[in-house]
Chain A
Amino acid sequence: MIIAGIDCGAKNTKTVILKEGSIIGKGTTLTGFDQVSAIKGSLDAALKDAGIHARDVDNISGTGAGMEEIKDADLKVNEIKAMAKAANYLFPSARTVTDVGAEMGRAAKIDENGKAVDFAINEKCAAGAGAFIEAMARALEVKLEEMGPMAIQSNKSIPMNAQCAIFAESEVVGLIHGKIPKVDISKAIHDAMASRVVSMIRRIGVNEDIVMIGGCGLNPGFVDSLKNQLEIDKVYIPDDPAFGAALGAAVVLKEEA
């Protein structure tokens, strides 16, 4: 059976193609302001990657902020369920999973079957999401993808007072004027953002192994701050963390089919 799992996120739309339980293709597009074309774009890219045609797909499952726009979906999967299944599929030893994307952060405690037993969500506020780091990158005049690598060059701990991304922009500009090196500012930004995600994880309890999915998993600065604040040595991150929720949606459909 071939399944396409589509995650229509705030920033990117991701598709994973699963054949008999194995990943055979992936595709991603910017969501932009047209979710319907983004969904089609990411599905097409994933089909191409898998070397198959749309007619080869047996079922489609959807998740993410824009899942209502996935008209062809046979199943719509709640984000918590999707992330829990993804973590279990990728790392069966996972007991905690966190998904940190562009506009939200989530954490769930999961059992050995990949079922979420408790969860916490942080959404509708940029302070605890990838959008925070993106806004700070603009204030620092640094490319988003350079932020993490810069942060890990610093070992300084500068506290940030502002919680709100809008106010933090002014604070970052103040730090630049205060001649604080950009690597140290970048570390402060990641520490501040990670502290909010960590307190969300702590609410459900820190149970290893901890798995992280979502676009922020690609950011070494964020992962570093997260590990330090959770006081753990390892956070399990898949190669393509951004595809986590799409994969989870596909796995849920496979199990329910």
Chain B
Amino acid sequence: MSEEDKPEYWRWTESNWRNPDIRWEDAKIVTAGIDVGSVSSQAVVMTDGQVYAYSNMRTGSDSPESAMNALNFGLEGTDMPESRIDYCIGTGYGRVNVPMADRTITEIACHARGAHFIYGPGVRTVLDVGGQDCKAIRCDEKGKVVNFLMNDKCAAGTGRGMEVFADLLSVPITDVGQRSFQVEDEPEPVSSTCVVYAKTEATGLLRKGWGVNEVLAAYCSAMSERIFSLIDRIGIEKEFAITGGLAKNRGVVDRLMKEIGLAPMKTDWDTQIAGAVGAALFGYVLVQKGKGRKG
């Protein structure tokens, strides 16, 4: 198989959405939030603090281009010109490389604010597991951060760690969760935290005769233990919400929630847009306070 034909087991579908109930022409304030993550980028366009359109795409090798692509893809199918945006905030790992941003705000503040919008004011603990980081944030009833940590140094407990495993086992990333439950008995978690060593350990387990699903289960469970130990540092308070790509992996989420002893909050929104939603909301507040571009 040539390098190009090789299936990419981590690939997920890019998407965009427009709110059919909103006419942008009626809006007083239009803001945008662009979250350039290491793996995915999202753009959210808000009209008077409501989500009008968004996109969710894979980040390319060039951050400014990824930011522009995300915004263009978000506005695709709307006839709103980019120039209608009053204020734009960049967030995420690549936030300093968002060319159209008027200002940047850290993903910590944006995720808390975005989760508050997406899940409602009852949310107190937000876990965001992205492609290359894991954030745990505790916030108050206004969506303001009370306690947080971010781990972007180590691949264990991040989407990248799971991608490495999916790739090692040749299982599409979207199947990991489901297949991890197709085991007779829940196996012991993979004992190595370090992804490099966990890979070696997994190879040994396969050699010992473990099935792929069992190894997946052992890794999902190791990852949930790892994430639990991170959130535990900031203290878990209910209600609990999970955003970011990992929210879609039930193999980890279900095991984690069992350990925490809570049910995760539910939402109809795509949880990957939380950071960009928070950014667009901050933009809305700043413009209202007269601190925007026009203020």
Contact = CB atoms under 8 A, between A and B. Distances in A.
In the complex they form, whether A and B have CB atoms below 8 Å apart is answered with: yes
B65 to A, nearest CB: 15
A33 B61 contact: no
Contacts of A131: 196-197
A194 to B, nearest CB: 18
B153 A164 contact: yes
Contact of B207 (A33, A126, A166): A33
Interface of A: 33, 103, 124-126, 131-132, 135, 163-167, 174, 177
Interface string B202-239: 01100110000000000000000000000000000000
A174 B208 CA distance: 36
Interface stretch (B17-25, B187-195, B243-251, B284-292): B187-195
B33 interface: no
Contact of A126 (B61, B194, B204, B208): B194
B153 A126 contact: no
A131 B208 CA distance: 23
B154 interface: yes
Given A166-B160, A167-B132, A174-B61, A124 B155 contact: no
Given A33-B203, A135-B196, 5 more contacts: A124-B192, A163-B154, A165-B195, A166-B155, A166-B160
Contacts of B132: 167
B164 interface: yes
B196 A165 contact: yes
A177 B193 contact: no
- Of residues B155, B164, B193, which shows the largest number of chain A Cβ atoms within 10 Å of its Cβ? B155
Contact of B193 (A124, A132, A163, A174): A124
Contacts of B195: 164-166
A124 B196 contact: no
B194 A125 contact: yes
- Of residues B161, B164, B197, which shows the largest number of chain A Cβ atoms within 10 Å of its Cβ? B197
Interface string B135-165: 0000000000000000001110000110010
Given A33-B208, A174-B61, A166 B196 contact: yes
A135 B197 CA distance: 11
Contacts of B197: 103, 124, 126, 131
Interface in B232-266: none
A131 to B, nearest CB: 5
A131 B198 CA distance: 12
Nearest to A134: B196
Contact of B194 (A33, A124, A167, A174): A124
- Of residues B153, B160, B194, which shows the largest number of chain A Cβ atoms within 10 Å of its Cβ? B194
B193 A167 contact: no
A132 B194 CA distance: 11
Contacts of A177: 61
A252 B280 CA distance: 66
Contact of B154 (A132, A164, A174): A164
5 contacts: A131-B196, A132-B196, A166-B196, A167-B155, A167-B160
A85 B193 CA distance: 31
Contacts of A174: 61
Contacts of A135: 196
B273 to A, nearest CB: 24
B161 A166 contact: yes
B193 A126 contact: no
Contacts of A167: 132, 155, 160
A131 B161 CA distance: 16
A174 B153 CA distance: 18
Contact of A125 (B154, B160, B161, B204): B154
B132 to A, nearest CB: 6
B69 to A, nearest CB: 19
B204 A33 contact: yes
Contacts of A33: 203-204, 207-208
Contacts of B203: 33
B237 to A, nearest CB: 30
A163 B153 contact: yes
A236 B154 CA distance: 33
Contacts of B153: 163-164
A126 B61 CA distance: 26
The 6 closest A-B pairs by CB, nearest first: A166-B155, A126-B196, A33-B204, A166-B195, A165-B196, A164-B155
A161 to B, nearest CB: 11
B133 to A, nearest CB: 10
Contacts of B192: 124
A126 B132 CA distance: 17
Nearest to B203: A33
Contacts of A165: 155, 194-196
A30 to B, nearest CB: 12
A179 to B, nearest CB: 13
Contacts of B161: 166
Interface in B156-196: 160-161, 164, 192-196
A167 B194 CA distance: 12
Nearest to A126: B196
